[in-house]
Structure formats: structure tokens, C-alpha cells
Amino acid sequence: MNQVLTDIHQHLIWGIDDGADSWDTMCSMLREAHSQGIKTIVAASHAEPGFQPFDMGLYTERLADAQSFCKTENLGIRVLPGAEIAWTYQTPLVLRQGRVPTIGGTDYVLLELWRNISWQAATDAVNQLTRAGFCPVLAHPERYLAFLRSPKKTLRFRNETGALLQINANTILDTRNYWERRFTEYLLKEGAVDAVASDAHDCVNRPVNMEAAYQWLTIHTDAAYARKLVTFGGELT
């Protein structure tokens, strides 16, 4: 596997959310990422502005631990800051104040909407973040019912709002769900998926699976698009 991979959505930092539950799990995830050719990881812990304080101090400390481990083990992985940020009316404010991290310190924000969100509420959320100077990247839009049931409207939403779409690797690998398969196949065909990421939480139940996803993409899309989806367009420096 020669392609260098980027995973912009991984719950790597231990003891912060429902992701890695220990130092050992975090290290195992990093070793697995290395074995799959992943060279950049965004450690996107959950953040819920207004509901749960995000412990930036603890997050920063354990992010540094992950970075040090990669260096000590010669894994050649950059672990960048980030968060999967739930949409609330306080989200733009905490982002402007730097109380939750963006993707790799850029203007990109990994944004999580609620499952039953309406089109209007989703549009308002994206527009508010855009006006605040950020570029929303919607985490797993295949989980939002309005999006899932209308891939054509999802395409229009992306084009009209400027929001980017990040599909989970497991979604494209698991073909048992008809609606998810229909959704992802349509958006991939239209070139409307902007990133594929693992959303890994551990090494067993929700593991790192970027290599398998990339192999699937090389079969079902053209080579250039497949590379773009697993490198986030080379935007992270």
C-alpha cells in the first residue's frame, strides 16, 4: 500500500470522550494507523459547546503525549489537533475564542449535526459558522435522516452552502444498509464527497480502517478522486 493516507476524524486521545479508553488503546490505534500507511491524523475528540466543557488543558497534554509516542516509536505520523464539534448556538463563539480546536489549526471545522436536524436548521448552522470565518466539514452526513433520504438535496445543500462532506469509511465498506449505500454511491458519482475518514474509537468495535476504504475507493472511483478523498486534498500543513 503505497498511498500516504490522512485521517481527519479519529477519536484517538484517551480518556477525553467515548474513544480510546486508555494509553494502551491510543498507542495500539497509532500502531495500526502506521501499519495502514496513515501519515496524518486529526485527533477529533467530541466537543459539545454549552453542554459539556471541553477540557483543552487535558486534551493538549494528551495530544502531546500521542505526538511524543509517534516520535519515540518512529511511526512517522503527524497527530494534529481537532474536535468533532456538536452544533449548538454557542459553537461559533467557542470557536472564535479558541476554546475548542479546529482541524489542524486551520479554518476547517469538523461539525456534527443532530440526527433529526431539518434542512433549515442545518443551513442556519453552516451559514453561522461560515459568517464567523470557518469552513464547516460535516461529519458523517449519512447519519442525518434528512440527508440520508435525499442525496440529491444533499448535493444541492453542499453546493449552495459551501459545506464539505466527510463520509465514514465503514459506511462505504459495509454494503448491508440500502439507504447508506444509495446515499454514498450517488454522492461519490457526483464528486460531492470531500473526505473519507475512519471515525475510529478503538481497535476492535470501531477500528482504524482507512487502508480498506482506500482500496474500495480505487475500485469504485477513479484514482485521482480516491487519492483526494484519503488525503483531504493536501490542505493540512
What would the pLDDT profile of 152-191 be if each residue is shown by its tens digit? Answer: 999 999 999 999 999 999 999 998 999 999 999 999 999 9
For 129, the enclosing helix (H) or strand (E) is helix 119-131
Where does the pLDDT of residue 236 fall: very low under 50, low under 70, confident under 90, or very high at 90 and above?
A: confident
Task: Find the DSSP H helices in 132-235.
Answer: 145-149, 151-161, 169-173, 178-189, 210-220, 223-229
Measuring CA to CA, which residue among 156, 108, 97 is closest to residue 6? 108
| Burial bucket for residue 103 (CB in 10 Å: 0-12, 13-18, 19+) | buried
DSSP 3-state assignment of 230?
coil
pLDDT tens-digit series, residues 8-34: 999 999 999 999 999 999 999 999 999
- Range 143-160 average pLDDT: 98
One-letter amino acid at 123 equals T
Q: pTM surpassing 0.85?
A: yes
Give per-residue pLDDT as tens, 168-178. Answer: 999 999 989 99
pLDDT in tens, 74-132: 999 999 999 999 999 999 999 999 999 999 999 999 999 999 999 999 999 999 999 99
Note the pLDDT of residue 175.
83
Q: How far apart are CA 64 and CA 100, in angstroms?
A: 16
Segment 186-212 mean pLDDT: 97
pLDDT, position 89: 95
Other Cβ atoms within 10 Å of 152 Cβ, number: 10
Q: Which amino acid is at 119?
A: W
**pLDDT value of position 233:** 65
Least confident of 1-10, 40-49, 219-228: 1-10
